[in-house]
Amino acid sequence: MEKATMNYFVTIVFGVMFLATSSLLAQPDRGDRSQRPAYDRIESFKKVRMLESLKLDEEQSAKFIARYNKHQDTMHGFEKERNELVDKLDVQSKSDAGDDDYSRTFNLLLDVDKKISGERLRFLTELKEVLTNKQIAEYIVFERNFVQELRQAVRDVQRERVKAQ
């Protein structure tokens, strides 16, 4: 099987696993990914694919993964905080909150978005200590493509499920 076909096949398999455990993904606490086995499997698969894609040696891999895990943990904390604020906006909109309440929540949301941007910048800057500029570029492209491929795989599986019904 050619490499591109094999990668697509593996992505489809993980997409099926993702869908099969979709009830786990619908847990109320969206920011707490430690309780989501499907997410953990996808994240593990992503790391393996990322390391293969970047062609890192053992030392680079260890340093990269340590930084990547720290970055992911920080980003998950910010995502949880952001989701809580969006939930708060949802409650406020349903309870006819005042403009001052909305303004406070908007400002908190903007602060979290600034933290997210700052963390991304910090991480990419820190990667220069471990990766070449070309590898950093490949990482950025990998991140975008992985999400697109996963979404497409999920759509393909959903289409197949609809056809099977």
What's the CA gap between 90 and 101, in Å, rounded? 12
Beta strand residue intervals within the chain, DSSP E: none
Helix 3-20 with 37-54: angle, nearest 10 deg: 160
Angle (CA) 152-156-158 rounded to 5° is: 115
Average pLDDT over the chain reads 84
Task: Convert the pLDDT of each residue in 90-134 to its tens digit.
Answer: 999 999 889 999 999 999 999 999 999 999 999 999 999 999 999
Single-letter residue type at 60: Q
Q: Residue 28: what pLDDT?
A: 43
> Considering the entire predicted model, what is its pTM?
0.72
For residues 112 and 82, the answer to whether their CB atoms sit within 8 Å is yes
Comparing CA positions, the residue from 22, 18, 62, 20 lying closest to residue 41 is 18
